[in-house]
Structure 1
Amino acid sequence: MDLRQLRVFREVMRTGSISQAARNLDRTQPAVSHMIARLEEELGVTLFERRRGRLYAVPEAQYLLRESEELLGRATAVRQTMQRMKALEAGELSVISMPGPAAVLLPALIGELVGPHPEIKATLLTRSSDAIVQLAGTQQFDLAIADHDPARRINADLLHTETHVFDSICAVPGDDPLARAEAVTPGDLSGLPMAALYPEHLSHRLARRAFEAAGADFSVRFFGQFFLPLLSYVAHGLARVIVDPLTAESWIRSTNRPGAVVFRRFRPEIAFGVDVMRPAYRPESLLAHSFLAHLRGLFAELGGRQEPPAG
């Protein structure tokens, strides 16, 4: 018994006629008769009594009609849903990200992609980068986004990883003389109050290394776990901070104090990397594929460059 047989059976029940069902289905009358006969043979039940050239449905046929309506309705719904998923109008997207992009950029990107389609559901969770790598390995997420640390081990058997690299920039108060500089150097910042992530974080280590190489004083007054909150210290004129372009763009999009923080190039260049991970054993949906393409586009707009795969 297959769906074609059930569709033919339903049409015969609706019309009460083999010939009319054949016309409605654009089939020949012998083809419809053959499919009904095959269905009766497979079920081992006579569905119609034939008297004086007319069909009379037996009680068992009424039961089969009710079940057929439900099955065919479900099949139609599944087909329509799959078509909407192909057109990116339905489905589910699950993303886990470090806090920086998750605060502003990723919700905006997800909203642009799925907003016009109410049948799409999206989940965005925020964790630290180390926790993200562990959670991504469970294969429960379509996409995971973490800051890049060469010392962090990512299991290549579980995760497909691509790394996008950005040049860090310097955030200074809007009324700071450095706000008018074309680029900011460690010498410019020597001895000035700085804000930075905790000392163990790669960005902190790289910034301190750049200052030491220039013989400058890396004087950190404010420490934090994430970049975006540190910009509040800058906006109040209390510190300067070396951040990534994703954080800068998040601040620009979300602040109600334009001009309170100014972003300038930092020299020498300090690379900030972002790892985008996809589960190796979770097939990529069309929706996840489209989101990844939009994410790559955003990274490119912000000056990111994708590193070639290792090996």
Structure 2
Amino acid sequence: MNFRQIEAFCALMACGTASRAADILNVTQPAISRSIAELEREVGFPLFTRERRRMIPTPEGQMLYRESEDAFAGIERIRMTAARIRNLGSGDLRIASLPALGDTLAPRAVKLFQEANPHVPVTLRVVGSSSVRELILSGEYHIGIVSNEIDLRGVERQLFERYAAVCVMTASHPLTAKGLITAEDLAGQAFVLPSPEDASRIKIDQIFGHRNIRLRVVAEAYSSATVCALVCEGVGIGIVNPLAAEKYIRSGLVVRPFLPEVVLMTSLIYPLGLQNSIISRQFSDVLRSVSKGIAPSGDAV
């Protein structure tokens, strides 16, 4: 029993005549008849009775058809997936991102990618950079967006973007009068720190430690987005990736440049050998084009 026989059988069941089934499958009528005869020999019972020019399904043929429909639908799904793989390099796209970019950059890139590729299902998962690496190492996800601060052994890697962290505060905070915030300005101010797992935390600790500036830490948050949310509520001041700050500006967040510069480097990572797949290249290109246009400069109010 093979696919050609099942295909002919299902077409004949749907059409009722060998000639119409042949037209649908773009084969000759004798080819349909031959496939049905071969299938009947293999299953060991008649699938149709011949009445004039029509083929009438036997009860056994109807039972087999019900089973064949499910199997045939599965084969069609495999065929469609194969077509997507042939055209795009993968049947779907699974992306994992660190929170600072996963809440802003990645959703916009997904929207643009799906406008161009509406038949490619996309999964976006937002987790810490180390967890992103684990998802890529396991092969479960195709593209990861991570901080360069983590161990990147065992994956394909492309440098992505360099961001300078910004200082964020509410519009009512006295420091909004300054166009540039320095580490010294934050001495004694209520401060919201990113968690130790965040790429910026080590650099922030180093900047203030080297200057012997004691921060008045009032809260810690797992992600830059949560830092921004706490700042919007007036909990304190924060230093975050500018992409994380971008969507909170509409909620009254004020963004200022910060010195000394806190440089946040990011990379795109892939399972070994998959960096050059068509679908990965397409989405990576979309990510880069979106990134050029959405980071606030540090003077937004």
Alignment RMSD, CA only?
Answer: 4.8
Contact preservation (8 Å) 1:97, 1:132: yes
The whole-number CA distance in structure 1 between the counterparts of 2:58 and 2:74 is: 25
Deviation at residue 271 of structure 1 after TM alignment: 1.0
Q: Which of these residues, 153, 159, 180, is aligned with residue 151 of structure 2?
A: 153
Is residue 2:194 matched to residue 1:193?
A: no
Deviation at residue 15 of structure 1 after TM alignment: 6.2
The verdict on how the C-alpha distance between 1:82 and 1:268 changes in structure 2, with shifts beyond 3 A counting, is: same
Counterpart in 2 of 1:270? 262
The verdict on how the C-alpha distance between 1:20 and 1:263 changes in structure 2, with shifts beyond 3 A counting, is: closer
Deviation at residue 246 of structure 1 after TM alignment: 1.9
The verdict on how the C-alpha distance between 1:269 and 1:61 changes in structure 2, with shifts beyond 3 A counting, is: same
The verdict on how the C-alpha distance between 1:269 and 1:42 changes in structure 2, with shifts beyond 3 A counting, is: same
The verdict on how the C-alpha distance between 1:275 and 1:250 changes in structure 2, with shifts beyond 3 A counting, is: farther
The one-letter amino acid of 1:162's match is Q
The whole-number CA distance in structure 2 between the counterparts of 1:239 and 1:16 is: 75
TM-score scaled to structure 2, two decimals?
0.66
> Which deviates more from structure 2 when the two are superposed, residues 222-231 or residues 76-85?
76-85
Larger Rg: 1
Alignment of 1:29-48 (within 5 A): 29-40=29-40
Q: Which of these residues, 241, 251, 254, is aligned with residue 248 of structure 2?
A: 251
Contact preservation (8 Å) 1:165, 1:273: yes
Contact preservation (8 Å) 2:93, 2:122: yes
Structure 1 stretches of 5 or more lacking a match? Answer: 305-311
Counterpart in 2 of 1:139? 139
Is residue 2:163 matched to residue 1:162?
A: no
Q: Which of these residues, 170, 176, 179, is aligned with residue 179 of structure 1?
A: 176
Counterpart in 2 of 1:308? none
TM-score scaled to structure 1, two decimals?
0.64
Structure 2 stretches of 5 or more lacking a match? Answer: 297-301
Counterpart in 2 of 1:307? none
Deviation at residue 281 of structure 1 after TM alignment: 7.2
Deviation at residue 81 of structure 1 after TM alignment: 6.6
Deviation at residue 245 of structure 1 after TM alignment: 0.8
Counterpart in 2 of 1:218? 213
Identity of aligned residues (%): 26
Contact preservation (8 Å) 2:243, 2:295: no
Is residue 2:289 matched to residue 1:297?
A: yes
The one-letter amino acid of 1:71's match is A
Counterpart in 2 of 1:309? none
